[in-house]
Amino acid sequence: MKWVALVLILGGVSVGFGQGANHVTPRLEVAGVTYHNVRWGPVNQGKVVLLHSRGSAMVPVTSLPVEYQQWLAAKSTQPFAPPPTGRGTAPTPAWPPPPPSGKVRINGEWVEKSQLKELVGFVKFLAEATEDQQVMRGVILELAELRNPDRPIPANLVMRPGLWKPTGEQVLLKHYAHHGQLGDLIRVYGREDDAIKGVRAFVVGVEASR
């Protein structure tokens, strides 16, 4: 995908996990994309293979919830093994407990979704800007609204792109990495930050996954 400078818009090492592939994570959300019945594959060059109900995906480890990043880091140095039976055997790190439901991790803390702004829209551009003498990369999101807001829609179908229409309003998701395609419909939760070049900007949180 093409990177677009915001100022212009507006002016191999492989690690296997053995028995880990047999563990199923019922639900995992990565960068706004939800995967179900996830089995964990190998890590290669900073990316992990996810085998899920709709196929497979390879995602950057850094895009995972923090708990799973830490778990994978631990497994990279101490692979899965049967429970220790001998005296003095080091215990295998436990699978991380599931994050709290209904919360989003933002700036290192878990926050209720109700305290954040829900943003639904279509990914328009990957953008970058200079902020405090550092390059900030993110996503330009065109906000969307339901075509028929009065129509009852089951929760598992609500994110179908055909049910939404673009509003024309664009916002910047700061430091947000999108690993799908331009034009994808995503839903994120964030806090509004200082506008950049007149464009509303949001710091996006990582949704708890189960």
What are the 10-residue block averages of pLDDT along the chain, 210 residues in total?
Answer: 43 35 72 82 80 82 80 59 38 52 79 90 86 77 94 89 94 87 92 89 76
CB atoms under 10 Å from CB of 56, counted, come to 12
**Could you tell me if 110 and 104 are in contact, meaning their C-beta atoms sit under 8 angstroms apart?**
yes
Q: Say how far apart CA 119 and CA 116 lie, in whole Å.
A: 9
pLDDT for position 208: 59
Single pTM value for the model? 0.53
Rg (CA), the chain: 19
Q: Is 172 buried (19+), middle (13-18) or exposed (0-12) by CB count in 10 A?
A: buried
Residue 21 has what pLDDT? 43
Q: What is the pLDDT at residue 18?
A: 37
pLDDT at 144 (0 to 100): 96
